[in-house]
Amino acid sequence: MKAWGDDEPRPRPSVLLRSIPTVGDGYVSTNERVLLPSLALNGEARVEFVVLVDPRTGDRYGEDSSWPGSALVPLADHRLMRSSPEAVAALADLAAEVRRVRRALGDRHAARQARWAAREARQAVARCARPVAGELAYDAGDAIRGDDPEAASWVRTNDGASLHVPDRWAGEWEGSRTWSTDLDLVVAATPSSFWALSELAGRVRERTSATSGRVDRLVRRIGARGLRELEPVLEGSWLGG
């Protein structure tokens, strides 16, 4: 039996479920229930759909069997399985394992990212002017999180520093922001500080995106392997070949 290999595209669930907003007038509901393994491979617990047909085009769509009137999933471009209690349970277990692996890998990479960003932030702060009481400052902690620096008033506290940005208009209305940070991360709000921290924030975002892509690829490979291991349970469930 053919199962998905690592080189086959698997759309993200958010893309699948965004294509058609709601069940519209004229869709014909059938009694057929199908499973979308692609969702389990992405860790989605919801994999069973009732087949609806657009009588104008003959196109088939899936509606969440537990949520009538929900968003529709186009079925034409996806390998489907015939629904059965055994297949539903097997895919639910696979989805749970995918979520577990994704969390574990995500936590591991996040810890590495945090250590790297902290080292880079210390180097960036060393190139910045120290903050002056009563003048605006930047928090290098924003850059560690991948956010561009934001000029804020600041005060020294017993355990670090407190920063505050009042209500402002930044493309749209932004409410006030007050937060605490390490005093060692506070620098003067100068142009050179802005560019140093902005450059770091950009590298953090790029590294985060690259890491997320690596995690996605590894999780997909693990999920595909798990699907192949389920062949004895799923034998005969595949539709269309």
How much is the pTM? 0.69
Nearest-angstrom CA–CA distance, 124 and 214 = 27
- Identify whether 85 is part of a domain: yes
Domain assignment present for residue 4? The answer is no
CA distance 22 to 11: 20
- Asked whether residue 97 is assigned to any structural domain, the reply reads yes
Whether 91 and 139 share a structural domain:
no
Q: Tell me phi and psi for residue 133, to 5 degrees.
A: -55, 135
The answer to whether residues 21 and 53 belong to one domain is: yes
Distance CA 63, CA 81 (A): 15
Q: Is residue 130 domain-shared with residue 166, that is, in the same domain?
A: yes
Of 239, 240, 234, the residue nearest 86 (C-alpha):
234
Q: Answer yes or no: is 204 within a domain.
A: no
Do 26 and 82 lie in a common domain?
yes
Report how far apart, in Å, the C-alpha atoms of 195 and of each of 121, 163, 167, 223 are. Answer: 13, 20, 24, 42
Q: Tell me, yes or no, whether 228 lies in a domain.
A: yes
**225 falls within a domain:** yes
Distances (CA, A) of 160 to 114, 125, 156: 19, 15, 6
pLDDT by residue for the chain (241 residues), tens only, comes to 334 333 333 334 443 443 444 445 577 878 888 888 888 888 888 888 888 888 888 888 888 877 776 678 888 777 888 888 888 899 999 999 999 999 999 999 999 999 999 999 999 999 999 999 999 999 999 999 999 999 999 999 999 999 999 987 766 777 889 999 999 999 999 999 999 999 999 999 999 999 999 998 989 888 888 888 888 777 767 776 4
Sequence-distant contacts of 66-72: CB under 8 A, at least 24 apart? 68/23, 69/22, 69/23, 70/22, 70/23, 71/17, 71/18, 71/19, 71/20, 71/21, 71/22, 72/19, 72/20, 72/22, 72/23, 72/27
Answer yes or no: do 144 and 183 share one domain.
Answer: yes
Residues 83 and 142 in one domain: no
Say whether both 193 and 226 belong to one domain. no
Its domain, for residue 184, covers 110-198
The answer to whether residue 207 sits within a structural domain is: no
Shared domain for 66 and 129, answered yes or no, is no
Residue 89 in any domain: the answer is yes
